[in-house]
Structure 1
Amino acid sequence: MMGKARYVAAAACAALLAAGAGACGTSVSVVTEGAAQGPTIAIGVAADQPGLGYLHGGEYSGFDIDVAKYVAKTLGYAEKQIVFKQLSPAMRASALTDGTVDMVVDSFSMDGTHDGEADVAGPYLTVREALLVRSDSASEITGTDSLSDKTVCAVAGSAADDNIRNRTKNTRTTVAERDTYPQCMTALMIGEADAVAADDAISAGLASNNTGDHLKIVDVPDTTWSYGIAVKSGQDELVGQIDAALRAMVKDGSWQKAAADMGKSIGYTPDASMNPPKATAKAPSSGASAASEK
């Protein structure tokens, strides 16, 4: 998307949202080679996370997609103006900095550092660290402290990738990176990996997408991280607007409906002691160790 110029003019919207007003706000003008392409908003999402961001039959679905649509509507965009762009975790920050997308709604951890490449609104979901293992290994792999001499597959650029590396750096654990969760699932099923590092929401989706009882989720209860919506660094006013939209989503019950739909889809229910989180543009300190997102 070289040569693309983007201009985000954020109008003051938080007060109107707090008062219960409807859509208001931002205009995102997209100009490519001098020709206006808008008005549209490009949102980076996952396509391989059932229940969160999943592409099937040409349609995107999942909790992250519901959140993205709600926020875009609140910012003034009709659904037909939303352009979803599939991103891998490793691509997210660069897609923001080079203008490929206007925001990222893709299980993006806001608890870590982003090297000045992104500002993050939220949180909109808080999850727990987890491992996905084969059922025949469940008695042997009971947590991150039982991974010595094991191989763990992690998706490059994900919060779980950094976190599992930090947890196992002084052990005989091999962390094998892949670009996507389906690649990690293949490694797990053919025995190239003993576990997949993820969180409990992503793990539930991956397990639900595989029939039978051959997979088990191993929770790591002492570590949590929060999902946020990332935008290009320096857009403080837009972050405030997104935070207001997320608070409105909880207040009017749309967040709860999206969470219930996720439960029906993949059997995952967010921990009520941590959810719905309050969007404040600053993630809560909720875990024993925070994920570091590159």
Structure 2
Amino acid sequence: MKLRKVTAATAVVLALATALTACGSDDKSDGGSSGGKTIKIGIKFDQPGLGQKTPNGYTGFDVDVATYVAKQLGYDKDHIEWKESKSADRETMLQRGDVDFIAATYSITPEREAKVDFAGPYLLAHQDVLLRADEKGIGEPKDLNSKKLCSVTGSTSAQNVHDKLAPKANLKEYPTYSACLTGLQNKAIDALTTDDSILAGYASQAAFKGKFKLGGFKMTNENYGIGVKKGSDLKAKINSALEKMVSDGSWQKAVDANFGPANYKNEPAPKIGNIVK
């Protein structure tokens, strides 16, 4: 009889333990600050000021935006798994489910919208040029005629300027933006072209502080969006998070922190769904 009582009591304890374990599992499935699941976010790893992997973690405007959005979705910093999203891989990563969303200087275009959905835009950038701080002979795009114009190998930015604005520009292709910056600093080239946000990020590095300036030419409109898988309900949730980020001042704070040293004259925060052609 005594053995039976012990066995029955043990059974009660085990049942309670099982119930508590189940409750704990349910709490963790919520993810985010409650602990448990992670969210996978795609960013660039090699763009200073936007998305950069450093020995101390991840930094940049896209990182700040993604971190804020993740927080609104219920995930704190410790529950973010950062994934490198190179330009050519972004649609595939979303379609395969390798990431939950991507914030990586991801311009919204009709071709991309056919494959993935976009929240945002969260930044309106423009193709521009970066010049030496003491440059006085280049005040508008046509002044790039006969000048050495650099962009990275495979980019269409320099070719766009050559074809549409300065047909006599002397195009130079370097393997990286950092190489272009060194060439600009050493006067091997006269100007570097790509999105103004990317240029501002590079120019904001401590090693280049005060050495470069943006031309302010605004040659194209680049609407940066957050990519999600086609049909994902995350789009609406991310849009709400972006609207809050703008309204509470966090968006402008992130702009100033990441682009301020280059005197980047950013456009106001774009309205959700407003794509500037």
Structure 1 length as normaliser, TM-score? 0.68
Report the alpha carbon displacement of residue 123 of structure 1 after superposing the two structures with TM. 1.0
Q: Does 1:166 align with 2:160?
A: yes
Q: Residue in 1 aligned with 2:275?
A: 283
Where is the strand percentage greater, Structure 1 or Structure 2? 1
Size of the aligned set, in residue pairs, is 243
Moved more, 100-109 or 256-265: 256-265
For the 8 Å contact 1:89–1:155, the answer to whether it is kept is no
SS at match of 2:208: coil
Ranges in structure 2 where 5+ consecutive residues have no aligned partner: 1-28
CA shift digits 1:166-204 (9 cap, x unpaired): 342262445555564324324434555432212333222
SS at match of 1:109: coil
Q: Does 1:202 align with 2:198?
A: yes
Q: Does 1:79 align with 2:73?
A: no
Instruction: Quote the Cα distance in structure 2 between the aligned partners of 1:105 and 1:162.
Output: 21
For the 8 Å contact 1:133–1:217, the answer to whether it is kept is yes
Instruction: Quote the Cα distance in structure 2 between the aligned partners of 1:183 and 1:119.
Output: 34
Instruction: Quote the Cα distance in structure 2 between the aligned partners of 1:180 and 1:88.
Output: 14
Q: Residue in 2 aligned with 1:224?
A: 221
Amino acid at match of 1:225: E
CA shift digits 1:115-143 (9 cap, x unpaired): 7333221011122331012356x334333
* 1:184-263 matched pairs, under 5 angstroms: 184-189=180-185, 193-209=189-205, 210-211=207-208, 213-221=210-218, 223-232=220-229, 234-262=230-258
Amino acid at match of 1:205: G
Moved more, 57-66 or 165-174: 165-174
SS at match of 1:228: strand
Amino acid at match of 2:70: A
Q: Does 1:67 align with 2:59?
A: no
**CA 1:213–1:65: 2 relative to 1, 3 Å:** closer
* Aligned-residue RMSD, C-alpha: 3.3
Amino acid at match of 1:148: N
* 1:72-221 matched pairs, under 5 angstroms: 72-111=70-109, 113-114=111-112, 116-135=114-133, 138-155=135-152, 161-169=155-163, 171-173=167-169, 175-177=171-173, 180-189=176-185, 193-209=189-205, 210-211=207-208, 213-221=210-218
Report the alpha carbon displacement of residue 96 of structure 1 after superposing the two structures with TM. 3.0
Structure 2 length as normaliser, TM-score? 0.72
For the 8 Å contact 2:212–2:262, the answer to whether it is kept is no
What is the percent sequence identity of the aligned residues?
36
**CA 1:231–1:155: 2 relative to 1, 3 Å:** farther
CA shift digits 1:196-245 (9 cap, x unpaired): 2123332222222233654232111454322111123x135222221111
Q: Residue in 2 aligned with 1:33?
A: none
For the 8 Å contact 1:49–1:181, the answer to whether it is kept is no
Where is the helix percentage greater, Structure 1 or Structure 2? 2
**CA 1:221–1:215: 2 relative to 1, 3 Å:** same
Question: Radius of gyration: which is bigger?
Answer: 2
Ranges in structure 1 where 5+ consecutive residues have no aligned partner: 1-24, 29-37, 286-294
**CA 1:177–1:238: 2 relative to 1, 3 Å:** farther
For the 8 Å contact 2:213–2:263, the answer to whether it is kept is no
Q: Residue in 2 aligned with 1:12?
A: none
CA shift digits 1:88-111 (9 cap, x unpaired): 434433433444433221222125
